[in-house]
Structure 1
């Protein structure tokens, strides 16, 4: 089995929106956008809405976490893959399932009850912090960067400061 050509993996609780579907896809040179999310995988309406904001010529796949784990190793070399998932917990599931992720772009994690804001677009709770520390321990760099031309900030630095 060959190693899939994963350009980047992003955590974004909105999954795919204009910033992801055009700006990031173009900056990365991706030709396949893989949304790894259990509910989106079962929801054609949500898939259609996401497809609308994706740049021309980009293929999309909407897989459950398990299907992503099962099938990623079959990706062709020419598939330049950009994975988007919703939460750090989902991302850890992919990593533990053997998806070869080395770098994570943290886009949006909305504020909600029990979370603290550590960046303009990122709020975390104890569970999120534990997951990010575990990912870091596995040698995976997690960096907050909303758009490609912004400087990235390591999430562990921000967690340790807060």
Structure 2
């Protein structure tokens, strides 16, 4: 069962491994990103950053969808990390109604992007995916850390 889905371009790093994991207490972390799933160096770094006592799976978006749709994962509290809004959108489409809320954390500056919040930069492709995602999931919030005030997605759309 999905308990939290977060967009963070760094995916699993110290802030996520400590602050978010302590806040939501997952049984497992699922990193869903095509590039990460095929990059041995990234996989090794994520395994090193994984908190003790929490399982870790690193899958392509397609394989993550298959895993989440498997009835054997129904009782596992899963924290999903994706790199981009597009990854979140693809995964939501692949899993039906399992992901009801998406949290957006750090999204670094890239060509053609503009800053929408202090640590969130989006280009037109991101905003288009965000609008579509917003039409599918019930809630999208922007928040770097659990103690920070949540910003509703409507403020940037």
TM class, shorter-length: over 0.9
TM-score by length of 2: 0.92
Deviation at 1:141, TM superposition (A): 1.5
Task: Provide the residue aligned with 1:143 in structure 2.
Answer: 141
1:21 corresponds, among 17, 24, 29, to: 17
| Structure 1: 5+ residue stretches without partners | none
| Structure 2: 5+ residue stretches without partners | none
Task: Provide the residue aligned with 1:84 in structure 2.
Answer: 81
Alignment of 1:109-128 (within 5 A): 109-128=107-126
Deviation at 1:29, TM superposition (A): 0.8
Please tell me the root mean square deviation across aligned C-alpha atoms, in Å. 1.3
| Aligned counterparts of 1:91 and 1:129: Cα–Cα separation in 2 | 13
Q: Please give the per-residue CA displacement for 1:85-139, whole angstroms capped at 9, x wherever unaligned.
A: 0111111111111252111110111112211101111011111111111111124
Moved more, 93-102 or 142-151: 93-102
Task: Provide the residue aligned with 1:36 in structure 2.
Answer: 32
| Aligned counterparts of 1:139 and 1:55: Cα–Cα separation in 2 | 28
**Partner-residue secondary structure (3-state), 2:146:** coil
**Partner-residue secondary structure (3-state), 1:108:** coil
Deviation at 1:78, TM superposition (A): 3.5
Deviation at 1:143, TM superposition (A): 0.8
CA contact under 8 A between 2:68 and 2:95: conserved in structure 1? no
Report the number of matched residues. 155
TM-score by length of 1: 0.90
Moved more, 81-90 or 123-132: 123-132
| Aligned counterparts of 2:137 and 2:44: Cα–Cα separation in 1 | 35
